[in-house]
Structures are given as structure tokens and as C-alpha cells.
Structure 1
Amino acid sequence: MSVIEANWSYEINVIEIETSLYSYFELSLNNICENVLKALEDGFLIENINYQANLAQTYDEELKLLFETNKELRQEIELKLNQLTGKQTQYENFKQDQKLLTQEIKETHEAFLMAKKCYKKFLKIYYTIESRSKDSQIIYVQFFTEAKKDTENYTVRLKRNIKTRSYELQSIHPKLKMFKEFQRKLEENNDVPGLLCCLRLAFMAIKETKKK
């Protein structure tokens, strides 16, 4: 008994198979493309942004920044005010010191004028600043007169150092034997009144000698 029946079809439709396989391939390819696109969409999906919340956060940051800036400005202003107050206090103290110094200079000058008047009246002595330079002065003193005389008799010249306030004996007329000793003493103690007293006594002795 044969297994092949008489009506068995031996033809194979290659075109039909090819068409069927292509349709299946196309369907599979479409599915793959859709899956890829879906995966891409899921991967790059942008979440909905809450703009109101972000704006609120931005406002908070700006407010915080403004607060910090305002705090720094207040500190700087307070520092400047303290400095200004210090300068004002310093200026007021300076004005007060200047006022006291002016009064002291005025009183000293008045005392000097009074002493000068007394010297001229009771001691008959004339003195003035004969010349001056940047660092020194030449003090001219003439005894036994209240006004300068043309003669050089009984005169003394002292050089005063303005910076150190020290005096140096420059000349005496008439010349005395103790001139070098007077120079040395003045250099040691800077005692101008004491020197003038000694010179006056010496000049008085000369005058008394001339009267005889």
C-alpha cells in the first residue's frame, strides 16, 4: 500500500512563502522600531516643571541675597559713622587744645612784654633779634640804655639755635678777659639770664672805672 496518494500535490509555491516571510519580517521590524522609539521617548521624557515653585525658590534666594547685602551695607555704614564720630571728637579736642594754646601764647606774650618793659625800665637794657636764618637767630643785647645806640659799647651778641634752643656767645664789646670762660659756661648750662647778669656786673665795673 502506497502512502502517496494519487491526488497529492508536489508543487511548492516559493513566491507565497517569500511573501509570507516578508510580511512577518516587516511586522517584526515595525514592532522593533516602535519599541525603540518608545524606549527613546521614555528615556528622554521631560517631567512637568512646577514653574511657580521654581519662581518662589528664586524669590527666596534673591530675598536672602538682598538681606545679606543690606546687612553688609549697614555694617559698613555703622563703621563709617563710628569713624566719623571719632574724627569729630578728635577735631573738637583739637579745637579745644588750639584754644588753650592760643590763650597760653597770649598770656606768655603779655608776660614777655611786661618783662621786657621792666627790663628796660629798671635794668636799662635793650635787646632785639638782629638777624635770622632758617636754623638760627642772632640776639643783640645792649646794656644801660632803653633804645639802641650807635656805639657798640656794652653790647653782647648771642647765637640761638632755633631747633635745640641752645645759645652760643658770639661777641662782647668791650672784650673781657673771661670771654672764653663765659662761652664755656653758657655751652654747659645754657643759662642766658645768668650770663647777662655776670656781663652787666662786669660792664658796670668798667663804667665805674671810667668815671674815676
Structure 2
Amino acid sequence: MRLLLADDQTLVRQGLLRLLSLADDIEVVAEVADGLAALEMARQLQPDILLLDVRMPHLDGLGVLRTLRLEGNEVAVVLLSTFSDETSALSGLRLGAHSYLLKDVHFDDLLLTLRAAVAGERLIYSGVARHLSQAATPGPDLNLTVREQAVLRLMAGGYSNKQIALALNLQEGTIKNHVSSILLKLEVHDRTRAVLSALALGLL
């Protein structure tokens, strides 16, 4: 895979560069220190995946992702952050990021996430998922329970039932029941329509 790396912290960027060079299937085609440079290189080089720091000067990682999506560019994007910020994580996932990782992630997990993203899959780790689930807010009229609100937030992040179960320390069967209840209350037939409906209703 051809990867574009963007991080304004020189030591972090250089460390990632050295580690990524150990993977036979990854070629870092460019490494930049700010969002505007990342956007320009993404347009020029057409990489397979972008590994973006969330907080960068001139244009942050979310700004890069948002601009690319507005341009119709569906390149795989993995966001990287020093801080566990549920607002940034949820915003990034809504914009189509494939994952949101903290910089203390194990390198094997980073590689797994990058490979999954290029394959079109999302991998969300429980530490991030727990923070997202805490951001749930009550729906205005649909009488969603607190647990259903948390599950809905994680559904919006692209989590599978198994991932939600791990994040919330529940059985997968319990999560399936919550999902079924959410679909019934939103009067939709699948998870994608549930998330779209929730966004339209201001529940997310």
C-alpha cells in the first residue's frame, strides 16, 4: 500500500516512518508536517491511505478529511491523536475515517488497522469506543434508553455488534437486542438507515 504520513511532531513522524519501513507491504510515498501539505500531496500522489494526525497547524486532520470527501476523494484515512477526544473521534468517523487511534497504539495494531482500512474495513478499539459511548445524549422524542443511545453512537462509528459488546462489556446477544430495538424505534430496517435517520433527527 502507498501511504501518506502527516504529523506535525517531528519525533513522532520520524519514529512512525522508521517503524512503517519495517512492513514489506507499506511504502511511505510522502511525509509532511501540516494539513495543507497533506492535502496537496494527497491530491498529487493519490496514495492508497492517509495516516493523519488530528491536530496539525494550518489545517487539522479533520479538515483534510472533510476537504477530500467534499472533493469526492474516498481514499482510506486513519486518524491519529495524542488525546482521547470523543468529539474529534466521532467527527472523523462521521466524515468517513476508517479508524481513530491514539498514539500509544501498539505497532501491530496500527499495521492491522492500516491494512483493514485499505481493504475498506473499519477497526475501532475498545478504549476509543468507551469514550465515544460516553458522549451519548438523549433523543428528543424516541424514548431511547441510555444504553440504546450509547449503542447508536457506536453504530454510527461503524462498530460491529461484537466490537460494541466488547466496548460496553456486554454480551453480543444483548447488543443485538439493543440494535433491534433501535431499528424498531427509528422505523428502519438496517443499521445504515438507522444512522442516517439518527443524523437527520439530530440524535448524533
How high is the TM-score relative to the length of structure 1?
Answer: 0.23
Which one has a larger percent helix, Structure 1 or Structure 2? Answer: 1
Q: TM-score, normalised by structure 2?
A: 0.24
Bigger CA radius of gyration? 1
Structure with the bigger RCO (C-alpha within 8 Å, sep 6+) is 2
